[in-house]
Structure 1
């Protein structure tokens, strides 16, 4: 019974298929054949030729052979130059005249189509109608079927779906309800490119339905934990060759909350050591509020030790901007009783800070733009003298990578800081800079100042996506009021960075001096480092 039913079903399908008509359109110029399923499709095909500047398409003959209908046609000449008439609404929208001559009808239709697309009319159709010849020039009427204006209605997360709820809400706040156009799609893509915690497996995809436009984001959790080790070689103040270095370990997004725990240790050639512990949680209670808690300990051999505690709370202004308020608690103690340049003190204060970060399209660069500004109001108490003073601390830094041409890039960076007060500062409360991450031709944290600024210009040549070479120069000035020093300094050097299986390796040679003093080869600094992500 089953076999009989199967045979009957097969015969029915064959007979049904045999009864279907087949339409073949044949170009008489080249005998090119186009097969369509029905007469309506055949009419649409011939109409499309007239829409593509074959205004004199002519059907030569029609032949029927059993269930096959053969339509022979001649396209005629392709007229891409024409006198065009455009409706007033379309002309105003596209910033065109209502009547003009064009040498390229195809390009004109594409331009009008793109203008409508950029206003959210994703499915607009630009039609052309041939209305005759005048002085051997085709007369064309352009019309536009706009369709519905599309807006971004929703985001759908695929792949890595454990992203913070507030992150998705911020994405919706920034883009949901905006026009669906290429500009906003590029902005969405850029906002996620080189994100510290996310990877885009492919560009955003779109699902159109009758009533909605949904943007699909295919995300993957990024390997964002990192180990950054730097080894440095150079001479200390006594011209003795010494070893120094730093370790920087970041644990990021372990709990899928975009959180960060950073542990940093550094030893400089002059026996100073820094330990820094920082915790950052960006979305507290699923809100745009975040918190950052920083503990910093600095010990200068057996001379003095300083501890800072900086608790902070901040607001996400956007995906790239933060503004925060912080407390500042600091204490410093003199260990060596013979050390007279420093004093025991405690500080309490409050401060404001702002940060802007723009990701880089180049994976080897940490960011494209970064700006940081800080201002603190501090009350300082010198315990042994039983004296209190008010101080202000300011810092501003900015960095930007510029694309010159081809594989050539220019990195510009500047930083300035000021510790301001009516009284004289003691050595253990002064600002410290110099080294790998600031003024590279000098030892780590070897320059003490109450005011400093410096600028860096670095030329980078990119070799594919695996390496870049750099040459840099730096200029700076600082003021040490207590020692009455106000020198001008400079540094220069070169290096290279390239990707290994274990991470990004950096190697750099640098040297620097004060203007008026000669460069000494013995002062050359060598730094070698590895940045590994896991």
Structure 2
């Protein structure tokens, strides 16, 4: 019985392979004189094989073999032996531009004696016409003359009607307004039709964080107008994220401290690219932070984006920082974004009881800092959400005058011989790289750096680092830094579009002038999971780190988990 089953299985496999082989069509060809050849190649059927031969014949004719001859010999029903007699090779002696308008012949490489150069020239001229409002333009060779294997001709050009853009349409399951899409694509009614502009618009919409295109754009031509229709489906981009963290309670050794975080982000409100966000964190018993922001895209249908923001950081009972910002952004290209901003930064000391006997300015003080700056970003990622390849660069630089306020809780002599007004500046840069190795394996790398400088630099001036979004394995905002640089590295094992297991390692170097050892070199490592549930993302990350102030012990490990709901 076993022998019978084995024989049947082998017969089944052999029969399947035989059937597959019977459906194939084999072709072998060579040129005469011999220049190129191809050994026996299999095609799924005879029709596919003939289509390949047609494309081969066309490519040889474009090289100048206009009188080539195909000699076919059927070896069997499923095999064809082809000999291609090339014949004489033709080239151009001269070509006149004829009636081709000058604006359509600009920036095109000149025609050479090579026969295919004329074809390339005509395709480029047609492309120029399509991008200047003439999508039905035609060009052909006229008055062709032959002298031996040398040819001469004249171009004849027919532009067809001038086509202008009509108002665009939006279709599909989307709330996106036509005005927003018009500003995003740059397609304006009354301007000349451009195939290049349509292709660029398609690419820009593909990269949008708000929606996806469910089909290629459709263009309807009527009465010398072109009306594009874009079919979209909104993404689930809105975010409701709650995270719980378990940390050692430094005030009560041996006990754990539960911290909290709330992220609420609403995108594309009203279908106009209007965004609002709220972020709240409780870092420990007495430390909290709050960030509120809002963005209006294409203000009054201009190319300018405007955003405002407010943030607050209460550092236990030491100081309270407040930031108020106003940004103006401009899309230089699909990938490049430029912005100008101004910020008002305020800081106040909360408890002055420990400063009664000071003779010089302490590490914290009240101040006001008005900043003016410029920022730039370059987004070369393949997707804003499910990135596999590409990179992202963001940077900014700001400067302005900082004014130190005299606090009545400090002795008056701490302000003697102190320049209360002085220039201060800062800069930040981030580079993010996604490496695609195979469908289930990728890497994520991120390098970040920054600095701030002032002759009266204070502790409450410094950058705050540490935690889930910077150097993992430490409490949120654990580090103070005058200047910093750190590298995040992740190996990701994907088992879904946005689900993956990961291991990470972070390396940093920080400078804090108020610590005895001003240079700190923290490191951390760990593992985690990012699970896409369809309606949201569940995250669990475990990390442990080492720095000047934290030993490398698992009792100092950090656990962060939460569910990020998208709707």
Task: For residue 285 of structure 1, report the CA deviation from its aligned partner.
Answer: 3.2
Aligned partner of 2:403 in structure 1 is: 379
Matched ranges for 1:130-529 at <5 A = 147-148=158-159, 153=165, 156-159=168-171, 160=174, 163=177, 165=179, 168-169=182-183, 171-172=185-186, 180-181=194-195, 184-208=197-221, 211-235=224-248, 237=250, 240-269=255-284, 271-301=286-316, 303-318=317-332, 320-335=336-351, 337-338=353-354, 343-356=364-377, 358=379, 360-362=381-383, 363-365=385-387, 368-377=391-400, 378-384=402-408, 385=410, 387=415, 388-407=420-439, 408-425=441-458, 427-484=459-516, 485-514=518-547, 519-529=552-562
Q: Does 1:84 align with 2:90?
A: yes
Distance in 2 of aligned mates of 1:81 and 1:176:
52
Distance in 2 of aligned mates of 1:142 and 1:230:
74
Distance in 1 of aligned mates of 2:244 and 2:205:
33
- CA deviations on 1:14-35 (whole Å, 9 max, x unpaired) are xxxxxxxxxxxxxxxxxx9xxx
Task: For residue 187 of structure 1, report the CA deviation from its aligned partner.
Answer: 2.8
Distance in 2 of aligned mates of 1:81 and 1:308:
82
- Greater mean alpha carbon deviation, residues 471-480 or residues 352-361: 352-361
- Greater mean alpha carbon deviation, residues 524-533 or residues 144-153: 144-153
Q: Please tell me whether the aligned partners of residues 489 and 514 of structure 1 are also in contact (alpha carbons under 8 angstroms).
A: yes
Specify the SS of the correspondent of 2:203. helix
Q: Please tell me whether the aligned partners of residues 544 and 552 of structure 2 are also in contact (alpha carbons under 8 angstroms).
A: yes
Distance in 2 of aligned mates of 1:234 and 1:142:
82
Task: For residue 436 of structure 1, report the CA deviation from its aligned partner.
Answer: 0.5
TM score, norm. by length of structure 2: 0.66
Q: Please tell me whether the aligned partners of residues 329 and 347 of structure 1 are also in contact (alpha carbons under 8 angstroms).
A: yes
- Greater mean alpha carbon deviation, residues 78-87 or residues 450-459: 78-87
Distance in 2 of aligned mates of 1:172 and 1:453:
39
Which runs of 5 or more structure 2 residues have no equivalent in the other structure? 1-45, 47-57, 71-81, 98-104, 357-361
Task: For residue 445 of structure 1, report the CA deviation from its aligned partner.
Answer: 0.4
Distance in 2 of aligned mates of 1:128 and 1:505:
67
Distance in 1 of aligned mates of 2:466 and 2:192:
47
Relative to structure 1, the CA distance from residue 189 to residue 258 in structure 2 (aligned partners, 3 Å threshold; closer, same or farther) is same
Distance in 2 of aligned mates of 1:532 and 1:471:
23
Q: How many residue pairs end up in the alignment? A: 456
Relative to structure 1, the CA distance from residue 404 to residue 220 in structure 2 (aligned partners, 3 Å threshold; closer, same or farther) is closer
Distance in 2 of aligned mates of 1:113 and 1:501:
50
Distance in 2 of aligned mates of 1:282 and 1:173:
17
Relative to structure 1, the CA distance from residue 175 to residue 140 in structure 2 (aligned partners, 3 Å threshold; closer, same or farther) is farther
Distance in 1 of aligned mates of 2:88 and 2:503:
57
Distance in 2 of aligned mates of 1:472 and 1:81:
64
- CA deviations on 1:268-313 (whole Å, 9 max, x unpaired) are 2575211112222233333334432222222233x13414131314
Q: Please tell me whether the aligned partners of residues 180 and 273 of structure 2 are also in contact (alpha carbons under 8 angstroms).
A: no
Relative to structure 1, the CA distance from residue 212 to residue 517 in structure 2 (aligned partners, 3 Å threshold; closer, same or farther) is same
Specify the SS of the correspondent of 2:89. strand
- CA deviations on 1:234-254 (whole Å, 9 max, x unpaired) are 335567533334211012233
Relative to structure 1, the CA distance from residue 286 to residue 139 in structure 2 (aligned partners, 3 Å threshold; closer, same or farther) is closer
Distance in 2 of aligned mates of 1:410 and 1:338:
49
Q: Please tell me whether the aligned partners of residues 85 and 142 of structure 1 are also in contact (alpha carbons under 8 angstroms).
A: no
Cα RMSD (Å) = 4.4
Task: For residue 497 of structure 1, report the CA deviation from its aligned partner.
Answer: 1.7
Relative to structure 1, the CA distance from residue 516 to residue 297 in structure 2 (aligned partners, 3 Å threshold; closer, same or farther) is closer
Q: Please tell me whether the aligned partners of residues 389 and 423 of structure 1 are also in contact (alpha carbons under 8 angstroms).
A: no
Which runs of 5 or more structure 1 residues have no equivalent in the other structure? 1-31, 33-47, 58-75, 103-107
Specify the SS of the correspondent of 1:438. coil
TM score, norm. by length of structure 1: 0.70
Distance in 2 of aligned mates of 1:464 and 1:240:
38
